[in-house]
Every structure is written in structure tokens, then in C-alpha cells.
Amino acid sequence: MDKKKYQKFINNFNPDSIENIEKLENLIRDYPYFLEPKLYYLKILKDNKSKKYDSELKKTAISVYDRSWLYDWVNLPWKNRKYKEKSNQKENSIKMNFIDWINYLEKNKLENKKSESIDEKFNLIETFLNNPSKIEKENFPKNTDDISIKTLTTENELMTETLAKIYLKQKKYVKAIEAYKILSLKYPEKNAFFADQIKKIKKL
């Protein structure tokens, strides 16, 4: 099978088609160190409930660095391999090949880690606001205030009401007002509330 035929075969791959099993077995025999056809072979064995699946899974898992996406690869319905990419204002439905699927899973993991990191920061901030006396000083360097503010202000996504409250608690009224002004631009539907907060700060 030449490169063009192989690419066409992958692009039109159907795990429900039993006739593809033989094609993949031939590919694996001819290219024993090529991982991609082994993964498609594993998928088709899984979907067709083949007795060969368990033994092939053990063989293939050795060559895969991340077992979590291998699990997703063989267990998720094939229709879930379709995802949407926005280009200008047009959406195109594109069928993922093996490389696309790996990139998709890796991207999701990075986004999840980023989300978890932000959540952890917010939890720490909320703990500080609600129970400042319960946080042990030894857990923080002496210049905690400066470091926390510098860190928070370098990340636009953390410019929230919580940050405004921190500025207010530290009596940094100018920065608190700036924070509420930014919030009012980001969330115009709450303009009245933010304007009211700014008025209260100016009276302090």
C-alpha cells in the first residue's frame, strides 16, 4: 500500500468494517515498527469484539507512552473523533486521524491542568479573605503581599472580584477601583454593581 492509498484508508477508516482487519494485519506485518496501524487494528478488534483484542492490547500498550489516551482511543465511540474548528465565522466538521486525536487529548490535558491551577489560586485567595487568621505565616515568605499581587496582576484572567476585594482589604483603594473598572468592561451587565462598589471605595 503506497502513501496515498494508506492516507485514504486512514481518512475513511471504519472500525465496523471487518474487511479492514486483513488490510491492517498486512500493514503491521510489512511495517512492524509503525505504531499507527496497530492502534487502528486494536480499535477495530475492540469494536468487533474479537478474541484477539486482549492479546493485541498487551502488545500495543508497551509501545504507547500514555495509557489514558490509549484507553480513550479504543473505548470512545468513533463518531466522537469528530470535532469542530472555527475559521473566521465558519465551522467545519473534521474527522480526526490518529495524530489529530493525540493532539486533541494533549490539548485537553493542558487546559484541564491550567484550569486546576487557577482554581487552586482562587481557593487560596478565598481562604485568605474568609479566614486570614487560620493561615500560618510560616507557609509564606515575608513579602507575601507583593508577590501575590504581582503574580495576580500578570494574569488577566485572575482580574476578578476577588482580586478587587484583596486590594480593598489591603487599603490599596486606587488598585481596587482599577480592578472594578476592568470588571465593568468585561461584564457590562454588572456595570451598576461595579459602579456602586467604586463609589463606596471613594468614600473611604
2-54 residue pLDDT tens: 778 888 888 888 888 888 888 888 888 888 888 888 888 889 898 888 899 89
Rg (CA), the chain: 27
pLDDT at 151: 44
* Other beta carbons less than 10 A from residue 75's beta carbon: 10
pLDDT tens digits, residue range 143-167?
Answer: 544 444 444 443 443 456 777 788 7
Q: Which residues pair with 83 in a beta bridge?
A: 94
Highest-confidence segment of 40-44, 74-78, 122-126, 161-165:
40-44
Give the mean pLDDT of 132-136.
48
Q: Which residues pair with 12 in a beta bridge?
A: none
pLDDT at 127: 60
Task: State residue 147's pLDDT score.
Answer: 45
Coil, strand, or helix at residue 33? coil
Cell, residue 52:
484477539
Under the banding of pLDDT at 50, 70 and 90, the label for residue 86 is very low
Mean pLDDT of 96-116: 55
**pLDDT bucket at 180, cuts 50 / 70 / 90:** confident
Task: Supply the mean pLDDT for the chain.
Answer: 70
Instruction: Report the C-alpha gap between 22 and 107 in whole angstroms.
Output: 33
Question: pLDDT value at position 153?
Answer: 42
Report the pLDDT value the prediction gives residue 136, as an integer from 0 to 100: 47
Q: Which of 25-29, 101-105, 120-124 has the highest mean pLDDT?
A: 25-29
Length of the chain counted residue by residue: 204
Confidence check: pLDDT of 195 > 70 = yes
